[in-house]
Amino acid sequence: MDWKGKVAFITGGATGIGFGIARAFSNAGMRIAIAYRNEDQRARAARWFAEHGREPPLFVKLDVTDRAAFARAADEVEAHFGQVNVLVNNAGVSVFGPTDEASYADYDWIMGVNFGGVVNGLVSFLPKLKKAGRGGHVVNVSSMAAYLSGPQAGIYTASKFAVRGLTESLRYNLVPYGIGVSLVCPALVATDAGLSGLKRPAEFADSGFQPVDEAELRQFASIFQGGKDPLEVGEKILAGMNANAGLIFTHPEFAEDFKDIYETSVAALPDEPVPEERLEIERKRRAAAKAALEGAKIGLSDL
């Protein structure tokens, strides 16, 4: 795919993985719009584009949980560039704590950003991607937590599982429009994501988790510095888009985990005969999914 001149909107694009994606896309000749929250991060990102002689990005200050603001951002990007070809839903928070102690505020904040932000991006931008014509792409950045759960990441994991399910389903819907959809599941990347717990908004202050111990959190966050370079992650995402890959893994170190997932899942299936009527239902489901990926619009009557 020749991405030169295509317009990409990237949430959380001034830092971390989002900035890695922005640089990779710019290196491929794309025009960039960046949603950001922090002014210092915006300034650093703008400086990189200037130092490399690139077209300045359109910077849009945005809280991804604000639906009205997201809609305005979509209009602003379209007004500035004339079209939108690529949507990257990347913004997220990495907040951890024991799920059995979580409050409504914990759920509302983490799910609101990590899943709700993706929803808001899709509702705001999909009409514009469709209008721009064939060759567009949606990238939803999830996490390896979309496959791997853990004792301190219940709500975070739920949000990433949700993004995975939504993205896998959306891929079927957008094939007829010539728009690709990719689920990205990174693992450890050199970002400050581990410090998200220090950025809790006041309206979500009523946490069920223990009060943040900043020294302990910074010690935990230091492990991220051993992660993959965000630019390399961005380059892998671009390569996946070029291949129209539905699933993009950026890290290779999980073969043992996926082997365990497969073996555990297969072992959990009951060993018993299946009525032909049920087998036929599943054959129709598989055929409908295959037809959808080949460009058919699937309705309930096809299932």
- Total structural domains within the chain: 2
Query: In the 8-state DSSP scheme, what is residue 177?
Result: G
Both 185 and 275 in one domain: the answer is no
Both 284 and 242 in one domain: the answer is no
Residue recorded with tokens 């209009």: 75
Both 242 and 294 in one domain: the answer is no
Residues with catalytic roles: 156
SS3 87: strand
User: Which pLDDT belongs to residue 112?
Assistant: 98
Domain range for residue 38?
A: 7-267
Q: Identify whether 2 is part of a domain.
A: no
Q: Identify whether 143 is part of a domain.
A: yes
Q: Identify whether 40 is part of a domain.
A: yes
Both 235 and 275 in one domain: the answer is no
Q: Identify whether 121 is part of a domain.
A: yes
Both 72 and 99 in one domain: the answer is yes
Q: Identify whether 114 is part of a domain.
A: yes
Both 263 and 281 in one domain: the answer is no
Both 158 and 279 in one domain: the answer is no
Both 99 and 181 in one domain: the answer is yes
SS3 35: strand
Both 73 and 50 in one domain: the answer is yes
What is the DSSP pairing of strand 58-61 with strand 86-89?
A: unpaired
User: Which pLDDT belongs to residue 299?
Assistant: 85
Model pLDDT for residues 105-137, shown as the tens digit of each residue: 999 999 999 999 999 999 999 999 999 988 999
User: Which pLDDT belongs to residue 234?
Assistant: 98
**Cα–Cα–Cα angle for 58, 232, 85, rounded to 5 degrees:** 40
**Cα–Cα–Cα angle for 4, 10, 12, rounded to 5 degrees:** 145
Q: Identify whether 1 is part of a domain.
A: no
Both 291 and 173 in one domain: the answer is no
Low-confidence ranges of the chain (pLDDT < 70): none
Residue 82 maps to which CATH number?
3.40.50.720
Both 293 and 202 in one domain: the answer is no
Both 224 and 86 in one domain: the answer is yes
Q: Identify whether 204 is part of a domain.
A: yes
User: Which pLDDT belongs to residue 162?
Assistant: 98
